[in-house]
């Protein structure tokens, strides 16, 4: 799904859609709570945050509130947002664990992502790889670039053809993974 700007939609359209999305979120919570926690988790307040542009979701342990980014939903759609919700439900279930191993194991069970996708308006088109160290890089345009790390390390910081990034994929407009949730 392409990034859509909030402002292109009318207020009512947004309100209706937000209600629907929130409803789906609460249903997802009930489903996950029944399936994995014997319905023992307290129901959190789930809210859609209009301003989150760098984080997809957050859990506030003191108030047991889960906030999810509306812009993330607009960029990536419901399925991805529900993934973020399951991640935050993981924090609700293990509030003192942070991102510990135990927490990560729970995420796997919940089929929840560890990272969110970035919020960029500009989708990347090309995926590149360093032939030496295998590091990946994404760009919007075709470029001639060499791996900075390898050039620094083995060529005194100068461009070296040996380390020229090789294009490995042309992507449909997409963004690379990133960001801790």
- 133 sits near Zn ion (criterion: CB under 5 A): yes
Q: Which contiguous run of DSSP H or E holds residue 31?
A: helix 11-37
Q: Give min distance, CB of 1 to Zn ion, in A.
A: 23
Task: Print the binding letters for residues 144-163 with Zn ion: x by CB under 5 A, - otherwise.
Answer: ---x-xx-------------
- 130 sits near Zn ion (criterion: CB under 5 A): yes
64: Cα separation from own chain's centroid:
21
- 168 sits near Zn ion (criterion: CB under 5 A): no
Nearer to Zn ion, 21 or 135 (CB): 135
Q: Which two tokens stand for residue 169?
A: 């994929």
- 165 sits near Zn ion (criterion: CB under 5 A): no
- 74 sits near Zn ion (criterion: CB under 5 A): no
Q: Counting beta carbons within 10 angstroms of the beta carbon of residue 65, is it exposed (0 to 12), middle (13 to 18) or buried (19 or more)?
A: middle
DSSP secondary structure, 36-75, as one string:
HHTT-SPPPEEEEESS-SS-SEEEETTTTEEEEEHHHHHH
Q: Which contiguous run of DSSP H or E holds residue 106?
A: helix 101-110
Q: Give min distance, CB of 105 to Zn ion, in A.
A: 14
- 181 sits near Zn ion (criterion: CB under 5 A): yes
Binding site for Zn ion (CB under 5 A): 130, 132-133, 135, 147, 149-150, 181
């Amino acid at each position: 799904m392409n990034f859509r700007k909030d402002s292109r939609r009318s207020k009512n359209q947004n309100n209706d859609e937000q209600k629907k999305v929130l409803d789906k979120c609460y249903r997802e919570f009930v489903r996950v709570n029944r399936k994995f926690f014997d319905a023992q988790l307290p129901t959190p307040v789930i809210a859609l945050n209009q301003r989150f542009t760098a984080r997809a979701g957050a859990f506030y342990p003191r108030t047991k509130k889960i906030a999810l980014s509306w812009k993330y939903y607009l960029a990536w759609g419901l399925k991805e947002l529900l993934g973020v919700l399951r991640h935050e439900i993981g924090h609700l279930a293990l509030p003192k664990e942070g991102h510990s191993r135990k927490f990560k194991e729970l995420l796997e069970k919940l089929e929840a992502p560890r990272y969110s996708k970035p919020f960029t308006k500009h989708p990347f088109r090309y995926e590149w790889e360093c032939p030496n160290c295998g590091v990946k890089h994404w760009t919007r345009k075709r470029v001639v670039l060499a791996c900075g790390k390898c050039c620094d390390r083995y060529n005194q910081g100068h461009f070296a053809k040996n380390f020229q990034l090789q294009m490995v994929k042309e992507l449909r407009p997409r963004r690379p993974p990133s960001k801790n949730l």
